[in-house]
Amino acid sequence: DGGITQSPKYLFRKEGQNVTLSCEQNLNHDAMYWYRQDPGQGLRLIYYSQIVNDFQKGDIAEGYSVSREKKESFPLTVTSAQKNPTAFYLCASRRQGTDTQYFGPGTRLTVL
């Protein structure tokens, strides 16, 4: 049963700490994406990766970092430099040659 998993579902961190959000997919998709959603706003692109060992900044990359060491995994680190990190974070993947992105269940990050 293929899909995208994100863990944990809810995450709390203290201000000033870095935190890493997990995203794993077994769909054999090449491209992966990270978005954040804030209340009343659409999804905004943080980072994306078309292939292993390559990734590009999206529209709101400041304060975030990613890695793509394996095709199946695209973890997102929210650093202490991110000024407003409390949000709902969504990971997505896409098969090359298509335009539909498939999303994971999301991680709700709350900074205390």
Q: Contact residues for another protein (CB under 8 A)?
A: 4, 6, 9, 31, 33, 35, 40-45, 48, 50, 56, 58, 88, 90, 92, 94, 99-106, 108
Q: Could you give the CA distance from residue 76 to residue 19 in angstroms, rounded to a whole number? A: 8
Q: Of the two residues 60 and 80, which places its CB atom closer to another protein in the complex? A: 60
In whole angstroms, give the CA distance from residue 49 to residue 58: 10
Answer for the pair 59, 48: CB distance below 8 angstroms, yes or no.
no
- Residue 68 beta carbon to another protein: minimum distance, rounded to whole angstroms: 14
Q: Specify the pairing of strand 10-13 against strand 64-66.
A: unpaired
Cα–Cα dist 94/69, whole Å = 17
Q: Provide the minimum distance between the beta carbon of 48 and another protein in the complex, in angstroms, as a whole number.
A: 7
* Residue 30 vs 80, nearer CB to another protein: 30
Provide the minimum distance between the beta carbon of 46 and another protein in the complex, in angstroms, as a whole number. 12
Beta-ladder partners of 66: 76
Residue 106 C-beta: closest distance to another protein, Å: 5
